[in-house]
Amino acid sequence: MRGRALAILLMGCLAASPAMADAAAEKAIRDALTRWTADFNARDASRICDLFAPDLRYDFRGTPERDYAAMCSALQHALGDRSKTLTYSFDIKEIIVSGDMAIVRLVWTSKLSRPDSAQVIETKEPGLDVFRRQPDGMWRISRYMAYEAP
Name the CATH topology of 18-146: Nuclear Transport Factor 2; Chain: A, (3.10.450)
Whole-number Å distance between alpha carbons of 83 and 91: 27
Write the single-letter amino acid at 60.
Answer: F
Enter the pTM of the model. Answer: 0.83
Q: Are 52 and 72 in contact (CB under 8 A)?
A: yes
- Triad 5, 22, 65: Cα angle to 5°: 160
The residue extents of the domains of the chain are 18-146
Determine the 3-state secondary structure of 84 from DSSP: coil
Q: Are 82 and 116 in contact (CB under 8 A)?
A: no
Residue-wise pLDDT for 65-118, tens only, equals 999 999 999 999 999 999 999 999 999 999 999 999 999 999 999 999 998 888
